[in-house]
Amino acid sequence: MKVTAVDQLHLEALDGVLICAGTEDMGSEVLAPIMRHAKSKELFSGKIGETYMTTIFHEGHCLEVGLVGIGTPDTFNITKLRKGLSEGFKALKNKKVATIGVDLKAIEGGFPVDKRLVRLLSSLWDMANYEFNAYKTDAKPSTVESVALFGLEMDEVAFNEGILMGDANVFSRTLTNMPANIMTPAKLAELAEARCLDAGVEVEILDEQAIEALGMHAYMAVAKASANPPRLIVMRYRGNTDSEEVLAYVGKGLTYDSGGLSIKPTASMINMKDDMGGASAVISAISTIAKLGLKINVTAIVAACENMISGTSYKPGDIISSMGGKSIYIGNTDAEGRLTLVDAVTYAIEHEKATKVIDIATLTGAALHCLGNDAAPVISNNDDLYNLVEKAFTKVDEKVWRMPIFDEYKALVKHDQADLTNSAGSPGTITAGIFIGEFVKDVPWVHIDIAGTAYREKAEGVYSKGGTGSGALPLVMLAKKMAK
């Protein structure tokens, strides 16, 4: 699907049109009667995010028309605008249109128009168009061939960045949505390599023998029960050879999580293909950072594996070692993601010389209880880095909220038989993050738990049911903000 910015909308060449309208502004001359009619019947008022759909006969052909409310400059909200535009787009798509024009002219008068808005507007169409139906034998491709945006001065760089970001989000969602019988650690490594090499990112893939040789014992404790062997995926982008600074992105890569011997109930296992949402985010992010040519050095690391059950499973009550040298008491084999992450974080610091570390993971069910599906809880040892992360999330219309690290919480991850326990109890989102923090030494670090934001049970706004691509675009924006 092609997305462009145009100087004029030619309605006779379109199948569908979306018109932004405020509570006062009646918009285009040709379509003003529709808005007057909708307002007079109280079918549409122009409030932010509101939509109204109809069909008219124009210049010899039927034209599907959608009105999208933008409210007033005081009530304008980018999240609601994106949702309204996305819902309007999906309604037109359901009517089998091929060419869509989007009249944004009403936003010009007193509304905040900046690069952020341009990026979000150019990225949302691929995101709203996305459906995961590759395994349906009767699946039909989207009829939408093009979307033309009119009425706003579009910063060309920001517009093109948005196009790349839309593609990054869709790729991340696809990785997350692929079923676990197909998306094995080896398959994830294969797809990551293809994506990254195409973008000019160096890729190194280590097998189980190489992982063992590195002393990644915590990672291998989780991986060893599966018939599908683990793969450590290391992706390196060097956009600033004048600097020794390296930003490391570490993504949780559990391509399937049964819970191990602490097995999950069936209902909780169904969507465990999404336990590599952090991996899909960092793979998409680093490949997009490379496509943008940002002047920054980034290494992305995924310790990919499955948490399964066999005679070689690790067990509750075991004490295992780690690449970082700390011993770990296993209180629950379903607290496996943090075990893979601590070895991946140690690898990033010791072997990749990371000077800043961001880890992102579908780590705890408790994250959902903390903030629901709309925001990711975060903990950090560095105020400056956290503030950059928060701003990066805001730039792409995603949300985070910082959680506290009190000494009382730090004490919970200690154990009387080992250095640490992988199951420290409530508050589970915080103690899981603190556990990872035990391995970052004094390196500035941010931990992002996307367990609540990585997957949606129903389609809404720019998102379809399934993986959301949570975190991928903020990681791109973070690198952009930090680039020299």
Of 423, 412, 430, 413, nearest in space to 369 by CA: 430
What is the average pLDDT score of the chain? Answer: 95
Identify whether the C-beta of residue 62 lies closer than 8 Å to the C-beta of residue 139: no
H helices of 66-207, where?
78-94, 115-129, 156-177, 185-199
pLDDT at 33 over 70: yes
Residue numbers of the domain that contains 134: 2-152
Of 475, 95, 471, nearest in space to 286 by CA: 475
**Active-site residue, selected from the candidate residues 82, 236, 338, 395:** 338
Identify whether the C-beta of residue 279 lies closer than 8 Å to the C-beta of residue 253: yes
Cα 76 from Cα 108, distance rounded (Å): 12
**How far from 94 is each of 20, 217, 235, 401, 456, CA to CA, in Å?**
20, 51, 39, 36, 21
Beta bridge partners of residue 359, listed in sequence order: 250, 447
170 and 147 co-located in one domain:
no
pTM of the model: 0.96
Identify whether the C-beta of residue 250 lies closer than 8 Å to the C-beta of residue 360: yes
Tell me the pLDDT band of 29, cut-offs 50, 70 and 90: low
* Residue where a domain stops, chosen among 109, 131, 152: 152
Identify whether the C-beta of residue 68 lies closer than 8 Å to the C-beta of residue 20: yes
* Residue 157, in any domain of the structure: no
175 and 146 co-located in one domain:
no
Number of structural domains in the chain: 2
138 and 172 co-located in one domain:
no
H helices of 44-155, where?
78-94, 115-129
Of 279, 439, 440, 472, nearest in space to 355 by CA: 440
Of all residues in the chain, what percent carry a pLDDT higher than 70?
99
CATH of the domain at 254: 3.40.630.10
Better pLDDT: 342 or 134? 342
In terms of phi and psi (left: phi > 0; alpha: psi -120 to 50; beta: otherwise), the region of 372 is: left
**How far from 402 is each of 27, 355, 390, CA to CA, in Å?**
42, 21, 9
144 and 200 co-located in one domain:
no
The three-state DSSP-derived secondary structure of 394-442 is HHCCCCEEECCCCHHHHHHCECCCCCEECCCCCCHHHHHHHHHHCCCCC
88 and 188 co-located in one domain:
no
Cα 361 from Cα 302, distance rounded (Å): 11
Identify whether the C-beta of residue 472 lies closer than 8 Å to the C-beta of residue 280: yes
Q: Which of 111-115, 320-324, 360-364, 422-426 has the lowest mean pLDDT?
A: 111-115
Tell me the pLDDT band of 26, cut-offs 50, 70 and 90: low
* Residue where a domain stops, chosen among 152, 184, 208: 152
* Residue 126, in any domain of the structure: yes
**Active-site residue, selected from the candidate residues 105, 264, 326, 456:** 264
User: Among this protein's residues, is 402 annotated catalytic?
Assistant: no
User: Among this protein's residues, is 338 annotated catalytic?
Assistant: yes
* Residue where a domain stops, chosen among 95, 119, 152: 152
pLDDT at 57 over 90: no
